[in-house]
Structure 1
């Protein structure tokens, strides 16, 4: 296992190798809670095989036995209870071969990293509150920033497609507040215009749908370009004062089935 006591890389695997095609990156070159805010744009890249059915995975997402919409949490103002877990403690909840669905694998240690034993004491607003829409990147290392006090991540494969798994810890109420902020971000950026590598405009659409019955609250968010470019997806699940982020893209022709992974993995986070 490889651990870092400072920073977690913003991108791993296929996402790190994708050619950026929408200008802009995240919110600066500094770091928040020991996590870098940006290095390279996670932008819309041409998919290897554009698909009219992008967004479907190799298997149908499971039906969750619930009714109605999830009740979104209300952040608290006074920290109470035990201290939040460290990055090393969070790493115990990352995917292992024993809990992965059939067909999913981990290569080596999945490039696992965590924030070590430190708990970051600085509480900054998430960059998505003010970030321009054309800098949108759907990744847990980006979406977790702000209120995050510790984190751990690795990468898994559904046979060929890489999925980044990020688990962040927060002080009481902050994880719920973060999901509220991210929903507002998706609403504000429902449509915007990005740019291809040659400067051509690319109309972008952002969708967000709640996922009832997953954790305490959850949503699926997608950034979909017009044309043969890369669609990105992230499933965000809050479990108490932790947030689980699963993200991937269709650069190889289809999106990975994030819900197939989210259901069993969310059950292991305590």
Structure 2
């Protein structure tokens, strides 16, 4: 199966865009080319790389910003507590994995680029994902997918034994909004099962987007695979709802040559989300 997904860049700004990587002279054993990324994003070759729309910055706790190629406004922040039902970013930070509690083979990615929204609780804004074109799924990552309806969040970056980078986001939502987010993600993915992604070389490549649940993981889950036609980087997003909280992971085969095991990682991380 050809591989071309594109991860969102990890870093203090978790939703930085990671560009689709183009062919290399020596293909991967799976007949797709793996591209070694710089610190926060897959590198772009001189020819035939796919472009991606900009994702929103997570350096400030703005709600309802577009997760992909549409721009959205920031929702006003309420005082800490927001009625007492929604945990703050500070509380969610305590649920993130630490170096001592990570599953075997996993480490913090450099400093971990940990971030949280502090004591602010944001009001839901206008959902942006339904307004985006299918190209918004190119380079889509965990932070971007968490934006709609989001009230607070915390995030960190990890690496697996093959040095594949994974973004981890734990987001909290007002009652009922987490279920709305999962439904929105599924509806969007279902409408974008096949679409054309632009390449930096001026061409296009066909993308195949699939969505499947992971049995026994959370109240509901969605494993989203975005696979390109040709020698490009493949990407996955795993979204797990636990009541009104959502765990989101993203990873790619850039650099490491294979996709990280997001399902096994999620099964370990959900144990600390209460």
> Shorter-normalised TM-score: what interval?
0.7 to 0.9
**Structure 1 unmatched ranges of 5 or more:** 1-6, 42-79
Structure 1 residue aligned with 2:230, among 227, 230, 234?
A: 227
For the 8 Å contact 2:64–2:127, the answer to whether it is kept is no
If the length of structure 1 is used for normalisation, what is the TM-score?
Answer: 0.75
Residue number in structure 1 paired with 2:252: 249
Deviation at 1:139, TM superposition (A): 1.0
CA drift at 1:219: 1.3
1:194 pairs with 2:197: yes
1:84 aligns with 86
- What is the aligned partner in structure 1 of residue 186 from structure 2? 183
Matched, 1:171 2:174: yes
1:253-264 paired onto structure 2 within 5 Å: 253-264=257-268
Q: State the distance in 1 between where 2:251 and 2:167 align.
A: 7
Alpha-carbon separation, structure 1, partners of 2:201 and 2:164: 27
Does the aligned pair in 1 maintain the 2:67–2:140 contact within 8 Å?
no
**TM, length-normalised to structure 2:** 0.74
Residue number in structure 2 paired with 1:267: 271
CA root-mean-square deviation: 2.9
CA gap of 1:144–1:193, structure 2 versus 1, over 3 A, is same
Match of 2:73 in 1: none
1:63-119 deviations in whole A, cap 9, x for unaligned? Answer: xxxxxxxxxxxxxxxxx9832011111000111123322111114541101111111
Equivalent pair of 2:63/2:149 in contact (CA under 8 Å)? no
2:25 is aligned with 1:22: no
Paired residue secondary structure (1:141)? helix
